[in-house]
Amino acid sequence: MSNTKKQGINRLMSSIYNSWVGIVDAFFTEAAFRQLIVINIPLLLVALCVDVSKAERLLLIMSGFLMLVVELINTAIETVVDRISLDIHPLSKRAKDIGGGAQLVTIVMAIIVWFVVLT
């Protein structure tokens, strides 16, 4: 196996492919990610249909995508922690809890954004 790094368009295409593989893997292995997808599909449709400004519509859509991004990062953190050791360790718990906390903050933010925009 060669250690030569891909460059140019080959690197870009490889990065896009690997990113897509990560999203598909998260969808099939992570219930929380699937739940957020299921929640975000109708929210996206509503965001596209409500009578709001373009900036408000963008905020509604971005809040949904941000929840997905943070869930992917949280899943990556949990995967790395589990790779290191499945033993219960205070630092492992801390890393997982902080990742979950980031997700909670993002969900609360999305709820606030939707509430402010729609009221």
Residue 57 structure tokens: 């519509």
Name the active-site residue from 30, 56, 71, 78.
71
What's the rounded Cα separation, in Å, for the pair 35 and 50? 23
Handedness of CA 65, 67, 71, 74 (dihedral sign): positive
Can you read off the two tokens belonging to residue 10? 């080959």
Our answer to whether residue 56 is catalytic in this structure is no
Angle at Cα 117 formed by Cα 111 and Cα 119, nearest 5°?
A: 95
Q: Which residues form the catalytic set?
A: 71
